[in-house]
Amino acid sequence: MLFSMESLKKPLRPIFYDTETTGIKADRERIVELAAYDPVLDRTFEMLINPGIPIPKEATDVHKITDAMVADKPSFAAVAEEFVTFCGDDTVLIAHNNDAFDVHFMKAEFSRNNLSWPSWIFFDTLKWARRYRPDIPKHSLQFLREIYGIAANNAHRALDDVKVLYEVFCCMVDDLTIEEAMRLLNQPRIVNNMPFGKHQGKLLKDLPKDYVQWLDKSGALDKEDNKHLKQALVDLGVL
């Protein structure tokens, strides 16, 4: 097991978490399920949440959570205190696609309910997979599960995904501590070649100027995952 009671002596304690929502826009949609796993104390948190708005069919088709299932469930405001207590302080919350999805929904819900935002830090396993497993064609949680030979689960229900995430994380970082993994994920990334698109693999300095300008105007370079690419293009004077 990657984490043990000994980990409590370290400054960061990992909590793996996941959200299921009514849609993909954090400013308009709501969380309908919140789940987490604490591998240090080997305990789980799982709660269905009444979002206060209808759950669209396309969302239910993904996570199978219906309006009827959440009709008598507590609001996010009622759940938040229990979740904060579960996570505690000096905690790193770990989620797959956290930086583009889960953390935005969490912050939106805390803000919407006038709740104080805890002093958590976050780790995005999707970013780790993209950075340190470029040898595989996809980096979704379920594809990584298959790559590492982890048993299938009830995909897209929060607690099931959290349990798979924990196993995937352990495989990806091996014997690194959470502090070491955080340092590796956050260190500057050197980008010399175009990582995607029709010019994938080409040296950045050799990219057509009109292509770079198009990427910039389209907003592609403003995505979180492309910030290192944009900086490299700026440093080279290509952008």
Residue at which a domain ends, from 186, 206, 230: 186
Q: What is the pLDDT of residues 17-59, one digit of tens each?
A: 999 999 999 999 999 999 999 999 999 999 999 999 999 999 9
Quick check: 215 pLDDT over 60?
yes
Residue 19 sits in a domain whose CATH number is 3.30.420.10
Assess contact for 20 and 5: CB atoms under 8 A.
no
Q: What's the pLDDT score for residue 11? A: 65
pTM (2 d.p.)? 0.80
Residues involved in catalysis: 156
Question: Mean pLDDT over residues 179-207, rounded?
Answer: 88
Q: What is the pLDDT of residues 87-114, one digit of tens each?
A: 998 899 999 999 999 999 999 999 999 9
Residue at which a domain ends, from 142, 170, 186: 186
Together in a domain, 171 and 235: no
Q: What's the pLDDT score for residue 8? A: 42
Helix (H) or strand (E) holding 20: strand 13-21
Together in a domain, 182 and 196: no
- Burial code (b: 16+ CB inside 10 Å, e: under 16) for 10-38 equals eeebbbbbbbbbbeeebeebbbbbbbbbb
Together in a domain, 143 and 238: no
Cα(181)–Cα(173) distance, rounded to whole angstroms?
Answer: 7
The helix-helix angle for 178-186 and 125-132 (nearest 10°) equals 70
Residue at which a domain ends, from 153, 168, 186: 186
Together in a domain, 33 and 122: yes
Residue 1: band (very low, low, confident or very high) from pLDDT cuts 50, 70, 90? very low
Residue 7: band (very low, low, confident or very high) from pLDDT cuts 50, 70, 90? very low
Beta bridge partners of 205: none
Together in a domain, 142 and 221: no
Together in a domain, 114 and 181: yes
Q: What's the pLDDT score for residue 195? A: 85
Together in a domain, 225 and 160: no
Together in a domain, 106 and 221: no
Cα(48)–Cα(227) distance, rounded to whole angstroms?
Answer: 35
Cα(125)–Cα(129) distance, rounded to whole angstroms?
Answer: 6
- Domain tally, the chain: 2
Together in a domain, 134 and 229: no
Together in a domain, 41 and 83: yes
Q: What's the pLDDT score for residue 10? A: 55
Enter the tokens of residue 105. 């929904």
Q: What is the pLDDT of residues 151-191, one digit of tens each?
A: 887 767 788 899 999 999 999 999 898 889 999 998 877 78
Which residues span the domain enclosing 141? 5-186
Together in a domain, 153 and 217: no
Q: Are strands 43-48 and 31-38 parallel, antiparallel or unpaired?
A: antiparallel
Together in a domain, 140 and 239: no
